[in-house]
A = this chain, B = another copy of it.
Amino acid sequence: MGDRVGDMEDYCMVEAAMEVVGGKWKLAILRHLFDGTCRFGELNRAMPAITPRMLTRQLRELEADGLVRRVVYPEVPPKVEYSLTYLGESLRPIALRLEEWGHWYRERRGLGGEPVTPRS
């Protein structure tokens, strides 16, 4: 061992990051949480294209990966607040730069794709 171990360590890290952040809605969710704590419904209203099911799933994964904190208020009607952990916050600069890049990229490429999948 040791001959070419360094190779995979390197690119593996970027893939490790992608596993955490590569879900279809993950970065979109984080992006909203950058602006502050959100309730479930707020997030869902802010991203109408995502179904509650998927929003839940992605939030739970983000929580399991330690990027998002979920706080349940035991009251009625139910209230749940999502916020970023320190780990989640640490992604802010990168996400923002990626966002910039995406913007710049689409300008250069002439807005190739649809912004949001249109529903029938």
Seen from chain A, the residues whose Cβ lies within 8 Å of a Cβ on chain B are 7-20, 22, 24, 27-28, 31-32, 46-47, 65-66, 87, 90-91, 93-95, 97-106, 108-109, 113, 115-116
Contact = CB atoms under 8 A, between A and B. Distances in A.
A36 to B, nearest CB: 12
A8 B22 CA distance: 18
A18 B106 CA distance: 12
A17 B113 contact: no
Contact of A20 (B8, B15, B66, B105): B105
A99 B10 contact: yes
Contacts of A46: 7-8
Given A16-B105, A105-B20, A106-B16, A99 B66 contact: no
